[in-house]
Structure 1
Amino acid sequence: MPAAEAALHDVYTEVLQRNPGESEFHQAVHEVLDSLAPVVRKHPEYLDAAVFSRICEPERQIIFRVPWIDDAGAVRLNRGFRVQFNSALGPYKGGLRFHPSVNLGIVKFLGFEQIFKNSLTGMPIGGGKGGSDFDPKGKSDREVMRFCQSLMTELNRHIGAEVDVPAGDIGVGTREIGYLFGQYKRLANRYESGALTGKGLTWGGSQVRTEATGYGTVYFAQEMLRARGESFDGKRVVVSGSGNVAIYAIEKVHEFGGTVVACSDSSGYVVDEAGIDLDLLKEVKEVRRERIDAYTEHRGRLVADGSIWEVPCDIALPSATQNELQEADAIALVRSGCRYVAEGANMPTTPDAVRVLTDAGVAFGPGKAANAGGVATSALEMQQNASRDSWSFEYTEDRLAGIMREIHDSCATTADEFGSPGNYVVGANIAGFLRVADAMVALGVI
């Protein structure tokens, strides 16, 4: 085994030993380290400073209990997490996820990805992530409020505008951020609006934040298309999921001239050949909070089993959850003529599926690049909070579009520089790594 690959293999072996049973975290680390051999050869000083090992070890991991009382008066118990992974570029930045699947390994995988995603934005923010195994589905507003207040009673001592700035993620929207921020403000005894992002527009939030991840994914895909002399015009698009990211990805695809013919939730997927009716989807998912089958009461058809990736398309935007697009799905996409995949979710494509897609010449935009629009706009919210300012929707979206173009171009030029032209995975991993690594070397062994 060549020396560079051997050194990275040793780092990965150490990660496996230090973090047993955390398969998603192992996968995320392996995917990054697998790209970095050219960096080791060009920058041996990173090995001397143990940057590769240090970047895989969180600076701080916080686990705490979250007791709360439900509407029946019963005491309930959940577990809270915050992994403050890397602050070389700025305060830790990353969302909070409320979902029964949340555990330490999931949070570490998300936090590790966040380091490089945040680096790619060019903004001065480090990487972190958090959440709880609490499930907001089926809970009353008062139950959600009591849970959020209990969570923040512990979390508040670990965050702040210059320390760690959480935001939303799966299960955490404006409602949850409101309850969290209210309790933070109460405990801190000051209006520190920059301590959380994803706030409501009337109390410190940013325009475009709700739309940012979905819009940003489509902006990135648009640049991938442009690099091959194409556009969204007339393209069939499949978007998995039907939450915030998927809804606003669908909206932007339609604005750019594409047609989204399918979307999904955990109960199945909807096929609507005329194009997903966005107003109806928003009514079903955001207003009525119902399952996707309610959409088909009015139009389209529901497929309760099988894979959404069996629907023929030119462009696929996996925007639901990790490891949803597997090897068999990638084979189906290639067979149907799909030529572009951009990840709206975090690590939704398995390594085997990525290999199938890239071997077939499909342009593949990894999540740390393609879905960085959400955290980029969170950083813009932090700027507005720091200056006590508020920007227009048009100005903020223009900033977002510019950031996504710069991320695409950085990935493309870095891939070229390190001998993998057209490989956005390699480009994103190396470009994101270099900025953080240089800062870590400059700051010394800490």
Structure 2
Amino acid sequence: MTLLPQEIIRRKRDGGTLDAEQIRNFIEGLASGRVSEGQAASFAMAIFFRGLSVPERVALTQAMMESGEVLKWDLPGPVLDKHSTGGVGDTVSLALGPAVAACGGFVPMISGRGLGHTGGTLDKFDSIPGYVTQPDIDTFRRVTREVGCAIIGQTADLAPADKRLYAIRDVTATVESIDLITASILSKKLAAGLQGLVMDVKFGSGAFMDNARGARALAESLVLVANGAGLPTSALLTDMDQPLASVAGNAVEVAYAIDYLTGRRRERRFHEVTVELSAEMLVLGRIAANVGEAREKVERAIASGKAAEVFQCMVVALGGPADLLERPSQHLQAAPVILPVHADRPGTVERIATRDIGVAVVALGGGRTRPQDPIDHAVGLTDLVEVGAAVDAGHPLAIVHARSVEAAEIAAHAVRTAYTIGEGGTAPAPMILERIGAAS
């Protein structure tokens, strides 16, 4: 029996519990177009205020997964993935996918575009000339099988109901709902046919969850629902009180990832998070017996250049240039205006309002204020100094890459305001606060 969408909305609005059939009915209507955008927005808002029980979260996740194709794999190794809740300078996926593939895993990673002040993996790959971020399913399967890793965007075939609801949430102030975040992330991961998933749940001034308690609640929800739906999952709570990498943007982050994979630059904080998340994936996939052994495998894959080779093969297989690693500057867009940003006085960085750094990149054109907005892949920030660093006339806070002098000066002011400069040293916070449902 077809249930009226408004009656399902009413039930949740009034604090009732929805059964699996009601949720499935609404999501089928969302995918088919029978449910209007207004009804979908009302449904999201009702969930935002009333919440979902664990069985409702599992039912919503599975219904959105079943709204499109669900992939099946026949590969000589485990099918694994990682998902981040988003942050500033979070370039991890570009290095992690190839590293895990170099260790024997298969990584069919379906990534998203930027949301709010956080960058999107898909926008970064769009800055690579020729790289097809939304190939057909057959190409996605072939590249994953032949290369070991394929990082693409959500296609119309996988979890289409989520794709529609995601766009509506972005413009109706319902992004932060743990219930909706859980279902959105996991529906795509379940549709990808994974055998193991690691969640990077971020907290701090640059994350959607600005405190560890909220991040822990989200991580617990993701782990509980994913395992309840049959997908072995663990989560790491990671610090986002400062940019993870010393860059923020799109082409500049691709260049950073290339430098990292080829050994030209390996920053401690970025490396630690990349290795730990990769190691969790190897343990979930039984490629390593424990986290210590997994770390060694990942470190060797990166240091030997095998991960860089996988990255290059993936880029070529998806249409990108064959010499991207050797000549990134010939292929990645560069902004015409370069402006160093100096602090108002010398001293030591005590604190960074990381969200403001992300907003500055959006204002430069490197992010979106509306879903349909185009992205300027060339703009961004590089050489961002971290907490505890000394700054003076010879050591700027960052370098702005902009289209115009006016835009560069506006971004420089935003960066200068985001940094708190003091006299004394500040001890760095641990990068990984906690594991939830972690592998041994």
What band does the TM-score fall into relative to the shorter chain? Answer: under 0.3
More helix by share: 1
TM-score between the two structures when normalised by the length of structure 1: 0.24
TM-score using structure 2 length: 0.24
The structure, 1 or 2, with the larger RCO (C-alpha pairs under 8 Å, 6+ apart) is 2
